């Protein structure tokens, strides 16, 4: 079957760096997405990786290793507004998104 695994919850301190991991097993691979979802709000697109390596976008970076079925989202200089759930999703061979359950990130002052 298809499976996306990510930690349920993480806690970090304001100003610090946090890495949220995602491992996947899917039928085919057409890219990996990270979304941010604040409580009670819509998920919003953060990043997309289809080739191995690191994609940097401001304070957020996303890494992909296709051979290991592994990705991480790196958040630097954490701010209180970064408190949210972070969803990992893989696009399979049918171009459908398979979603992880999300990682709730708690930022403490």
Partner 1 sequence: DVKVTQSSRYLVKRTGEKVFLECVQDMDHENMFWYRQDPGLGLRLIYFSYDVKMKEKGDIPEGYSVSREKKERFSLILESASTNQTSMYLCASSFLRDYQINIQYFGAGTRLSVL
Site residues (vs partner 1, CB under 8 A): 4, 8, 31, 33, 40-45, 48, 87, 89, 91, 95-102
User: Based on CB atoms, which residue is closest to partner 1, 76 or 83?
Assistant: 83
Give the residue among 36, 11, 18, 10 at the shortest CA–CA distance from 76.
18
Give the residue among 29, 30, 31, 9 at the shortest CA–CA distance from 20.
9
Closest distance of CB 26 from partner 1, Å: 12
**Separation between Cα atoms, residue 98 and residue 109, nearest integer Å:** 34
Closest distance of CB 107 from partner 1, Å: 21
User: Based on CB atoms, which residue is closest to partner 1, 21 or 96?
Assistant: 96
Residue with token string 């990705």: 71
User: Based on CB atoms, which residue is closest to partner 1, 10 or 31?
Assistant: 31
């Amino acid at each position: 079957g298809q499976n996306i695994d990510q930690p349920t919850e993480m806690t970090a301190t304001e100003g610090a760096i946090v890495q949220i991991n995602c491992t996947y097993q899917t039928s085919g691979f057409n890219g990996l997405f990270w979304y941010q979802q604040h409580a009670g709000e819509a998920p919003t697109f953060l990043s997309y990786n289809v080739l191995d390596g690191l994609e940097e976008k401001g304070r957020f970076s996303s890494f992909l290793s296709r051979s290991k079925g592994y990705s991480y989202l790196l958040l630097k200089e954490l701010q209180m507004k970064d408190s949210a759930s972070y969803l990992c999703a893989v696009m399979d061979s049918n171009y459908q998104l398979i979603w992880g359950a999300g990682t709730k990130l708690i930022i403490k002052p």
